Amino acid sequence: MTTTTTKKNSAAPEPRRSRPVIGLPASAASLGAAIGAVATFASTFLAWTWTAEFPGDLTVTGYPGGLQLLTLTGALLTLVFVVAGYGVRGLGWLTPGGKNGPVLLFALGTFATTWYTVIAIAVKLGGLANLEPGGYVAAAASLLTLAAALGLPSDVAGDHDNPNVWQRFVQSFKAPTPKEASALPGWAEILIIAAAFGLGLFVFTYGIDTEAAELFIGYILLVAFGATAISRAGLNRRLAGLTSKHKNVTVTAAFVSAFAFPFTQSNDAYASIGTNILIFATVALGLNVVVGLAGLLDLGYVAFLGVGAYTAALVSGSPSSTIGIQLPFWAAVLCGAGASLIFGVVIGAPTLRLHGDYLAIVTLGFGEIFRITMQNLDGSSGPDVTNGSNGIPNIPDLDLFGFNLGEPHTILGVELGRFSNYYLLMLLFTIIVVTVFRRSDQSRIGRAWVAIREDETAARAMGINAFRLKLLAFALGATLAGMAGTVQAHVTFTVTPAQYKFVEAVPPNSAFLLAAVILGGMGTVSGPLIGASLLYLIPAKLQFMSDYQLLLFGIALILLMRFRPEGLIADRRKQLEFHETGQLDAPKGDIGLSKAGV
């Protein structure tokens, strides 16, 4: 009898499926989500309003436009992942991390975009009377899709006994470990990488090309939920595995996609956003050397960008320059990078013996001292060098090998304007900075930086000269920022002290640069590039919210630190640091001899 009890208690419990957020059979929930997605897709071919005053012209039957295209895309992706959940051959590759979580997230994104559109039409045009039947159909169908998706069981085990509906809903967003995928041919993996970067270029270009704020808000809603759904499906990890396997192909595909961007733009004003994003992203990547690799909290980093910009403005032939000389561009770049390097060493040598908050306060002070000094060198408060608050205007456009970057040029049958020309020049500098960062990260020096960042005392004990290596990181980051500043001076025509405040509504500034590194993912190459793109693109497109941008920015950072402290793109070390306890799990089940009748 005792033996029988022991076997009964030691047997593994039967696995139970997780309880859905809404109590529906899984098959009925999947069918309802599929029907709702098809109905939502069909609703985009109906007119949603009778007047073309709303951006995007949603009055045409049989031809989706504006925000209808976003709803159509969300409904189609929802349907694809619902079908993938049925085990259709080939589509299972899309859901290595789970099949129901992505459906819920895509349904939620489609619902948010559709209902935002309906509400925006009613608010902008003056009431629900401005909606056509297609708008009501879209709202009802997207609601049906979301309700059915909430009925799907969670892919994460362990929440079946939880009576709290909200907690089970949040649990539906958590991704389990993706399943191992069967090996693909090398050519197929390369095609997947190329397709991923091509899709990324299309999504990014679509966001830049949106003219109305209503369209951009809908775009942000769908992209945010869509990116979370892709992560929940495990596709990001699967793609990361392919990119780490084909690193050279990945780098080539990334820069080919970036090179193609200006050729997709018919308006040079949109190319200007891309140019400034590259400047911002390049400087953020330089800061990533200091913060992400060496772990030095620098709050005055934008000053090094200003040193490079002011140096280039003084030696590039501006009529307002007090020096009155004009050097070729390559010499101006060397001057700007060299001046920033000198400032980095001069500032770093006496301050890098400080740690943590003390170092942050000193670098913050340096940033403000630089801005105030440039403002006082006006011939009144100090020597006449920088023209004070007026800055150095009328910086001439660059002329490289007879190619004037300020004039339109036709390349490959496409006319590239001034900002497209500077975009391609800045892309070259970005390639240089990325190469320097990758080589540094993979070198002995890079490993020493990481050791200092993780535990400086232990690094010193292992024989690492921490002060010398921290000074090297500080100087290298300053040099990269100064190099980007030489291009910024020619792009903006004018260099003024107001451009280099610690906090300013329009980046780049020290606060936004640091936020870009943290948002994207410290210590990675693509993280600061993505973080900088988001932090520049969103304020540029939401000018009508300028009074609330810093408030929304703060809320976004709080949410990010709560739900994804390692950043959007995080390396393995950061994921373990923020999500692993480092302790063994407590034993579960009936263990010991007490249950065996002893």
- pLDDT tens string 1-35: 444 444 444 444 444 444 555 555 678 888 899 99
Phi, psi angles (nearest 5°) of residue 440:
-65, -40
Compute the distance between CA of residue 167 and CA of residue 158 in angstroms, rounded to an integer: 12
Q: Are 336 and 483 in contact (CB under 8 A)?
A: yes
Compute the distance between CA of residue 106 and CA of residue 152 in angstroms, rounded to an integer: 13
For residue 192, the SS3 value is helix
Compute the distance between CA of residue 249 and CA of residue 257 in angstroms, rounded to an integer: 12
Check the CA dihedral 279-284-285-287 and report its sign: positive
Sequence-ordered list of residues with C-beta below 8 angstroms from that of 561, at least 6 positions apart, any chain: none
For Cα atoms 216, 141, 164, give the angle at the middle one, nearest 5 degrees. 90
pLDDT for the residue 509:
78
pLDDT for the residue 585:
45
pLDDT for the residue 590:
43
Report percent pLDDT > 90 for the chain. 27
β-pairing, 399-400 vs 403-404, is antiparallel
- pTM beyond 0.85, yes or no: no
For Cα atoms 175, 170, 583, give the angle at the middle one, nearest 5 degrees. 60
Compute the distance between CA of residue 508 and CA of residue 280 in angstroms, rounded to an integer: 6
pLDDT for the residue 400:
84
Phi, psi angles (nearest 5°) of residue 347:
-80, -40
Compute the distance between CA of residue 275 and CA of residue 536 in angstroms, rounded to an integer: 11
Compute the distance between CA of residue 297 and CA of residue 360 in angstroms, rounded to an integer: 5
Q: What is the largest CA-CA distance in the chain?
A: 101
Query: For residue range 128-177, what is the model confidence (pLDDT) as tens digits?
Result: 888 999 999 999 999 999 999 888 877 665 544 454 555 555 555 555 55
Low-confidence ranges of the chain (pLDDT < 70): 1-25, 87-91, 155-183, 504-507, 571-598
pLDDT for the residue 360:
87
pLDDT for the residue 575:
63
